Structure 1
Amino acid sequence: MACDRENGPKAFVTGYPIKHSRSPLIHGFWLKELGLAGDYHAIEVKPEDFKDFVSTLAENGLAGGNVTIPHKEAAYAASERLDEAAKAIGAVNTLWLENGKLCGGNTDAYGFAANLDSGAPGWDKADVALVLGAGGASRAIVHALLSRGFSRIAVVNRTLSRAEELSAHFGAKVSAHGWDKAEDLLAGAGLIVNTTSLGMSGHGTVEDFPLDFSKADRNTVATDIVYVPLRTPFLAKAEAAGLKTVDGLGMLLHQAVPGFERWFGVRPSVTEALRSHILEDMAKAGAL
């Protein structure tokens, strides 16, 4: 069945800037694969215009959409109803309308966990996790880890006060440390998560990543939430030390699933075909 773009639900991804988002590729792939009517496209919205934009979704014929930087906190504030993940994380990345009300959710924690379920089954049997970085993305990661039963989560950050904010927000299971403690904490961690910009394209090489994995247990899983490049210096260094690694692309793909289901009424699957579709686009853009 051909996809009827005109008569089905219309959804979006918004941010500022937004032109490099791969969300339209993901949702467009599913619409075509499932033969569903609908449309998903990118809409660039300036921060000062965001409140007006989300208040007029219904009159503009939009069923909802994804929200990315810098609008996640503004989407949280604008939502009339929040899901539990959004409440815990303090940010919204998915919007939908329900009985005329603007609802906000956060699927980043779900996407993170689902990616590890796929790439490293049993990862959540570990008891202790080490999270590198205490930026906005770290809240979703810590929420996911607590939800999966981790009893101790060490957050390491160059600015200790940022890590202390996370610890205060989530409670006693989360401890805050300066970067100088990172290597000492490696030994007891069953999972290591990089949420920092270290290792992103233009942010250094394998040799530059400031962590020696020799103290880590060889059964430890290492994952990066960055997916450009796909094999970050963090992952390359962990892999060279014999650790199991999971790249960040799957988090992007899996976090898109719940929103698609809300707007278009069918729950899609993250498949190798979808991953290949996005990798092909990344290769064309020189992002691998």
Structure 2
Amino acid sequence: MKQLYGVIGDPIEHSMSPIMHNDAFKQLNLNAYYHPFHVNRTDIGSAVKGMKALGIRGFNVTIPHKSTIMPYLDGIDPLANSIGAVNTVVLEGGDFIGYNTDGLGFLKGLLEECPFSIDKKKVMILGAGGAARAIFYTLASNGINSVDIVNRTVQKGEQIIEECPYSTNSKALTLAEGSLKINDYDIIIQTTSIGMYPYINEAPISLEYLSKHVFVSDIIYNPWNTRLLKEALAKSCSGQNGLAMFVNQGALAFEKWTGVLPDTNRMKKIVKRQLGG
């Protein structure tokens, strides 16, 4: 009998995770199957009980359940607990334990594709949602502490900075302040949904005053190049979309479930092909 894994979310039909993970199971000759489960917001507690009753060995968690699932799990990894969100659940000794691989997946992808060392570089994070928090905490926990948060609501950025359990040299700025000071930064990380399909003509911040070459990372991968990335490339900056983060967070979850790290290059090709890239 195949070992069962999956992903829960609402909506879930668009998820690229099943095709990516099922191919990895096949390539590694693992007798396992990954299935998408549509779970309504009000059913998260019952869903967790059902997953355990079905003997599911592990699953991913996506929007809108990353935070609301936490009270229903048997344990939470310290990093996930500090971030306040879970994207990976592993069955360990009969208990469901929650982890967060989003931040680590992002950092791995950034290190793979950024053309310069990120040590001692100054970073701007656009947005103050769950992805921003995961990335901010992960960067801080890895010694990258010169990270400012730029958001429409400054208080949300300030809250992330104040609640971070790791030492940082950070401040929260408004979008207008961030735009004016954009040349102070070496790396810009876009974590909001602004620019995602179908709102492809929108950008979270203006790059009008950008005059030096920075690395721009946008965690969106549909469209392949957001308006922000296009504007950055037009100014001779280098950058990446969200494919590396998506694949690496998935690969880290796969490793937690199986003890094996899958071929991330193959995973990238599969997702890119599925997106029509």
TM-score normalised to structure 1 length: 0.89
Secondary structure (helix, strand or coil) at the match of 1:116 reads: helix
2:274 is matched with 281
Q: Are residue 143 (structure 1) and residue 137 (structure 2) matched?
A: yes
What is the aligned counterpart of 1:131 among 121, 125, 133? 125
Q: Are residue 247 (structure 1) and residue 241 (structure 2) matched?
A: yes
The alpha carbon displacement at 1:121 in A equals 5.1
Q: Are residue 116 (structure 1) and residue 110 (structure 2) matched?
A: yes
Partner amino acid for 1:180? A
Q: Are residue 257 (structure 1) and residue 251 (structure 2) matched?
A: yes
Query: Identity across aligned pairs (percent)?
Result: 32
For structure 1, which segment, 244-253 or 165-174, has the greater mean C-alpha deviation from structure 2 after superposition? Answer: 165-174
State the alpha-carbon separation in 2 of the partners of residues 34 and 216 from structure 1. 47
**1:170-197 CA deviation, whole Å, 9 max, x = no partner?**
2652311111101233122111001122
Summarize the alignment of residues 65-80 of structure 1 with structure 2, pairs less than 5 Å apart: 65-80=59-74
Secondary structure (helix, strand or coil) at the match of 1:103 reads: strand
The alpha carbon displacement at 1:69 in A equals 0.7
1:174 is matched with 170
2:210 is matched with 215
1:82 is matched with 76
Partner amino acid for 2:178? A
State the alpha-carbon separation in 2 of the partners of residues 173 and 240 from structure 1. 31
State the alpha-carbon separation in 2 of the partners of residues 32 and 213 from structure 1. 47
Secondary structure (helix, strand or coil) at the match of 2:47 reads: helix
1:187 is matched with 183
State the alpha-carbon separation in 1 of the partners of residues 240 and 200 from structure 2. 20
State the alpha-carbon separation in 1 of the partners of residues 200 and 42 from structure 2. 34
Q: Are residue 63 (structure 1) and residue 65 (structure 2) matched?
A: no
For structure 1, which segment, 225-234 or 184-193, has the greater mean C-alpha deviation from structure 2 after superposition? Answer: 184-193
The alpha carbon displacement at 1:261 in A equals 1.9
RMSD over aligned Cα, in angstroms? 1.9
Contact (CA 8 Å) 1:156, 1:177: kept in 2 or not? yes
**1:208-266 CA deviation, whole Å, 9 max, x = no partner?**
66412543532x21100111111111111111111110111111100011221232332
1:53 is matched with 47
State the alpha-carbon separation in 1 of the partners of residues 71 and 117 from structure 2. 34
TM-score normalised to structure 2 length: 0.92
* Gap runs ≥5 in structure 1: 1-6
* Gap runs ≥5 in structure 2: none
State the aligned residue count: 275
**1:250-286 CA deviation, whole Å, 9 max, x = no partner?**
1110001122123233221201x32222112111xxx
- Flag as ranges the 4+ runs of structure 1 deviating above 3 A: 213-216
**1:108-154 CA deviation, whole Å, 9 max, x = no partner?**
00110111122125442243110111112110110122123223211
1:4 is matched with none
Contact (CA 8 Å) 1:200, 1:229: kept in 2 or not? yes
